[in-house]
Structure 1
Amino acid sequence: GDDEKFDGHRIVFTDDVDTTQPVSPQAIRFHRQDATETEDALTQWGGVRSQQPTRVSVGTFDYKQPSLTKRTGLDTLSDQGNLPDTEAYDYAGEYYYHGYERGERLTENRLEAHESLAKRFRGSGGARQLQAGRWFELTQHPLHDLGGEEERQFLLLGVTVHAENALPVSAQLQALPGSLQPQLDAARKAHGLEDEGD
């Protein structure tokens, strides 16, 4: 397809994670990273929780339809452990929705945003195929291997890259154009200091 030929950056705004594509290769191991390993891996992985409301309610008012249900509310699905139940209530202003079904859908959008923030995962390692906006499947992790396939799939919301050269700089490197290295080498030789350590 066209995705293979694209050689740049693309940003996609979406509210449906089902439209995202996997990284390639899709599976990334939770494993040690070593020069003898033939596959990339994540070496650190853990969940980060933040308290979120267990119920989201949205209110509105329409003076032309005073019998319209003026408040919709939904409970979260995620388990927040021993934390107390809390509610986020938002009066969205007049005419925010016209009909209960629309109000319930808008409330569900807000609820999903809170659920997404309740538990996130962070990891690090040498997996070069990671790209924000795509998802991957984590394999060989003791906690996630126990669940179903969805328990091992993670959407990448952000990727930070740190890189360094793993090879020593060769002493045989040629000087870059405009470098003073040839003049320095000539001066060393003229003074009997041919080795750089002298």
Structure 2
Amino acid sequence: MLSNLFRLMINPRKQYAALKEQRPLLPIAFSILALSIITSLFEFSFLPVAEEEEMLSQPVLILIATAGTVVLFFVIAAFMKLIAVIFEGKATYKEMMEIYGLSLFPYIIILPVTVLLFLLHITGIITETSVIVELYSIAVNLLTVWSFILIIGMFGEANGFSIGKSIGAAVVSFIITIVIFIVLLIVIVASIGI
């Protein structure tokens, strides 16, 4: 199964179709989500610590981040289903959850590196965290792009879209996201009276 997931990273359209025929993908998607949450929890060790009055405690931040990641998983799947409906796609909400969960697989690849950096940091072997944070953020940004490419490929396959239509759907979803962000920003600014 792991080799199939690595092949998914190279050819998401073809491999998603093959994986779909072999076994139920939702449990695999949830497993990948759980591992990506674990990766995120290790990332907290690299964050600069602010004064206690200025921030929430680390356990509270971890709880919020974990709950937020799980909620975001379902919200993004719903948003992907909305985009599929707009473009007359045939994929189900369950398939959107599978696609989003599988698209998080690149973050699992970085888990061993994350754990190693965490151990080197807490043992004091590496004390300069700014270098770690910079290198790690570059890697995470690259993995985010890779994850997005996986979403486009699998989304197109699940909905029966061409590559062009998949990219068009991605552009429309990006525009909708920007509009939602701007509206939320206006509401927040208006509510706090800035």
Shorter-chain TM-score above 0.5: no
**Higher strand content, 1 or 2:** 1
**Higher helix content, 1 or 2:** 2
Higher RCO (C-alpha under 8 Å, 6+ residues apart): 2
Report the TM-score, using the length of structure 2 for normalisation: 0.23
Larger radius of gyration: 1
Report the TM-score, using the length of structure 1 for normalisation: 0.22
